[in-house]
A and B are shown apart, each in its own frame.
Chain A
Amino acid sequence: MDKTLPSDACRYFNEAMETLDRPQIEALQLERLQATVRRCMNSPFYKERFEQAGLKPEDIRSLDDLRRIPFTTKKDLRDTYPFGISCVPLRECVRLHSSSGTTGNPTVILHTQNDLDEWANQVARNLWMVGLRPDDVFQNSSGYGMFTGGLGFQYGAERLGMLTIPAAAGNSLRQIKFMTDFGTTALHAVPSYVTRLYEVMQSCGVDPRKDTKLRVLAIGAEPHSEEQRKRIEEMMGVKAYNSFGMSEMCGPGVGFECPEQNGLHFWEDYYIVEIVDPETLEPVPDGEVGELVLTSLCREAMPLLRYRTRDLTRVLGRTCPCGRNHVRLDRMRGRSDDMMVLRGVNIFPIQIEKILMQFPELANNYLITLTTDDDNDNMTVEVELEELFTDDYQRLQGLQKRIQRALKDEILLTPHVKLVPKGTLPVSEGKAVRVSDKRKVYQ
């Protein structure tokens, strides 16, 4: 891979790609789509899909023909677990990322070396775009391991040539020590963790403006409002740029805000972006909210065609004063399924339900409430008692703690657990309302 860097003064990491005009973008997309579709015929899954749809790779003659290709869903990834969508032999793969898979089979994403290199290039492009250069010190306070926010930013920041600190998540005092001792100039974290760091900084007398060299924040992997972003920027005294990624497309790097902070540029040399009505699956006009559907154009190991992300967003524009004509999408405005994202962790209500049902002391009704308290996002799980099995507080509290521990093992976060009397939770007609999201996110 060519690892040369532009000069520090250049605004673009990959000037040729970033400054393509619309006709050039579309011509490139068609060429890459055709190559990707041909590659997909090595995948038993896509081969069968195309046969079922009566479609041949050579039928894709224009970008409009994309719409003839069936959608790919998370369920498809689960059904073909672990390697059924792969387009290359395992021998050619060098990395595997996986979701926790608590709602069924996990989803597995394979990468070739070239996939990893291109992923690093995407992340580096984003970080360069917001002004980071090889002289910067990048602290990645994101979870490592299977969560792609760790290694994705690590390799991207290294690709850009920055001194990169794999601080990982947690241990705020140590994070702050790294920042002050190593002269961290850029930090990546989920937004709620940035506010947490600020609180700890305050409690130990560290002023981010005076005592650190911080100048750029990258935040993502968790829904946050414009208001929340502004508050984070005020706290830390620097700009905070919104990042979008998903492991199915590689990880972080898919979309990122430019210095204009007016939507996220989705890199159309790497992906085709569609916004569709989640009910009819027909495209919606620019400006209207719909479900984001992505087709990867450069992935080798596991390209995905028309992948339904379940994230809701809208097209803001296709031009930008920054000189990049890659489509700008609004921050994610919600989900078209019932997935919740809390502190960077994806959680489905069914995971909570599964745990609660293991406790015979509990009735069937429960309510998950998400709130923002002092800038921290929290989850409260209220659950009805089936029978009052004791009149001893300690045993009730013991039950509460056992539920809390079991939930933590499942969703990796510690929710508040509240026992409530039977019949007190709202029961709605038909499908019960299980989640009440009161966070200051989607305004």
Chain B
Amino acid sequence: MTIKQLSIFIENKGGTLIQVLELLSQAGIQIIASTVADTMDYGIYRVLCDKPTDAYLLLREHGINVQLADVMALSIDDQPGMAAHAVRQLSDASVSILYMYSFLWKGKGVLVMRTEPAERAKEIVLINKIQFLTEKDF
């Protein structure tokens, strides 16, 4: 019930993001969602794409520091209060969210998150019948 996300270590300097994007583009990989936070020296560029394993191998081959991370992608109705509801269940079960980002996908809201402990998070999602996406959905 998790999906593979690319986590790419990039330096906070000109030209590093475009190098990654162009490599993915040349390999015909489609980005579904991505996020990068601003930090001082370096950042982690997190990418959901249609062929994560291919993309991972490709980036590695080009000497880029990359990791495949398992993240949950919760699918919620695109309405006020739905994100709060989902996060509330995790929070009540003492699950920490290391990071989270969201996007719209085929009319539904998607909350991508890495949680800790991850197994406990999965149980909570199943118990509370929260919808989630798998790799087949992309």
Residues of A within 8 A of B (CB): 385, 387-394, 396, 418-424
- With a cutoff of 8 Å between Cβ atoms, the chain A residues found around residue B63 in the complex are 422-423
Contact B16 A421 (CB under 8 A): yes
Contact A420 B11 (CB under 8 A): yes
Report Cα–Cα, A68/B46, bound state, in Å: 68
Considering only residues 1-48 of chain B, those with a C-beta below 8 Å from chain A are 5, 7-11, 16, 37, 39, 41-42, 44, 46
Most chain A CB within 10 A, of B7, B63, B65, B66, is at B65
Report Cα–Cα, A424/B62, bound state, in Å: 12
Contact A418 B9 (CB under 8 A): no
Contact B9 A385 (CB under 8 A): yes
- In the complex formed, the residue of A with least CB distance to B6 is A391
- In the complex formed, the residue of B with least CB distance to A424 is B11
Residues of B within 8 A of A (CB): 5, 7-11, 16, 37, 39, 41-42, 44, 46, 63-67, 69, 98-99, 114
Known pairs A420-B11, A421-B11; A388 contacts B67 (CB<8 A):
yes
Which of B37, B65, B98 sits near A392, CB closer than 8 Å?
B98
Contact A389 B42 (CB under 8 A): no
Contact B7 A388 (CB under 8 A): yes
Known pairs A388-B65, A391-B7; A419 contacts B42 (CB<8 A):
yes
Report Cα–Cα, A424/B16, bound state, in Å: 10
Chain A interface mostly helix, strand, loop or mixed? loop
Known pairs A391-B44, A393-B44; A422 contacts B67 (CB<8 A):
no
- With a cutoff of 8 Å between Cβ atoms, the chain B residues found around residue A392 in the complex are 98-99, 114
Contact B69 A421 (CB under 8 A): no
CB distance from B3 to the nearest CB of A (A): 14
- 7 further interface pairs, Cβ-Cβ under 8 Å (given A388-B66, A422-B65): A391-B7, A393-B99, A418-B41, A418-B42, A419-B42, A420-B11, A421-B9
Jot down 15 A-B pairs with beta carbons below 8 A, ordered by A: A388-B8, A388-B44, A388-B67, A389-B67, A391-B7, A396-B44, A418-B41, A418-B42, A419-B9, A419-B41, A420-B11, A421-B9, A421-B10, A421-B42, A423-B63
- In the complex formed, the residue of A with least CB distance to B16 is A421
- With a cutoff of 8 Å between Cβ atoms, the chain A residues found around residue B8 in the complex are 388
Most chain B CB within 10 A, of A387, A392, A421, is at A421
Report Cα–Cα, A388/B20, bound state, in Å: 15
CB distance from B21 to the nearest CB of A (A): 15
Report Cα–Cα, A418/B41, bound state, in Å: 7
Contact A391 B41 (CB under 8 A): no
- With a cutoff of 8 Å between Cβ atoms, the chain A residues found around residue B5 in the complex are 391
- With a cutoff of 8 Å between Cβ atoms, the chain B residues found around residue A387 in the complex are 65, 67
Q: Which are the 3 A-B pairs with shortest beta-carbon distances?
A: A391-B7, A388-B65, A388-B67
Report Cα–Cα, A130/B34, bound state, in Å: 66
- In the complex formed, the residue of B with least CB distance to A391 is B7
Contact A391 B67 (CB under 8 A): yes
- With a cutoff of 8 Å between Cβ atoms, the chain A residues found around residue B98 in the complex are 392, 394
- With a cutoff of 8 Å between Cβ atoms, the chain A residues found around residue B69 in the complex are 391
Report Cα–Cα, A394/B37, bound state, in Å: 13
- With a cutoff of 8 Å between Cβ atoms, the chain B residues found around residue A424 in the complex are 11
- In the complex formed, the residue of A with least CB distance to B7 is A391
CB distance from A99 to the nearest CB of B (A): 33
CB distance from B29 to the nearest CB of A (A): 18
- With a cutoff of 8 Å between Cβ atoms, the chain A residues found around residue B67 in the complex are 387-391
- In the complex formed, the residue of B with least CB distance to A420 is B11
Contact A391 B42 (CB under 8 A): no
Contact B46 A391 (CB under 8 A): yes
- In the complex formed, the residue of B with least CB distance to A392 is B98
Contact B9 A388 (CB under 8 A): yes
- With a cutoff of 8 Å between Cβ atoms, the chain A residues found around residue B64 in the complex are 421-422
- With a cutoff of 8 Å between Cβ atoms, the chain A residues found around residue B39 in the complex are 393
Report Cα–Cα, A37/B8, bound state, in Å: 65
Known pairs A391-B7, A391-B46, A391-B114; A421 contacts B41 (CB<8 A):
no
Report Cα–Cα, A390/B37, bound state, in Å: 16
Report Cα–Cα, A390/B44, bound state, in Å: 10
Report Cα–Cα, A1/B69, bound state, in Å: 75
Contact B65 A385 (CB under 8 A): yes
- With a cutoff of 8 Å between Cβ atoms, the chain A residues found around residue B46 in the complex are 391
- In the complex formed, the residue of B with least CB distance to A387 is B65
Which of B37, B65, B114 sits near A421, CB closer than 8 Å?
B65
- With a cutoff of 8 Å between Cβ atoms, the chain A residues found around residue B42 in the complex are 396, 418-421
- With a cutoff of 8 Å between Cβ atoms, the chain A residues found around residue B16 in the complex are 421
CB distance from A391 to the nearest CB of B (A): 3
Report Cα–Cα, A389/B66, bound state, in Å: 9
Report Cα–Cα, A385/B43, bound state, in Å: 13
Report Cα–Cα, A435/B41, bound state, in Å: 19
- With a cutoff of 8 Å between Cβ atoms, the chain A residues found around residue B11 in the complex are 420-421, 424
Report Cα–Cα, A293/B99, bound state, in Å: 60
- In the complex formed, the residue of B with least CB distance to A382 is B41
Report Cα–Cα, A389/B65, bound state, in Å: 9
- In the complex formed, the residue of A with least CB distance to B42 is A419
CB distance from A145 to the nearest CB of B (A): 35
Most chain A CB within 10 A, of B7, B9, B10, B44, is at B9
Report Cα–Cα, A336/B8, bound state, in Å: 41
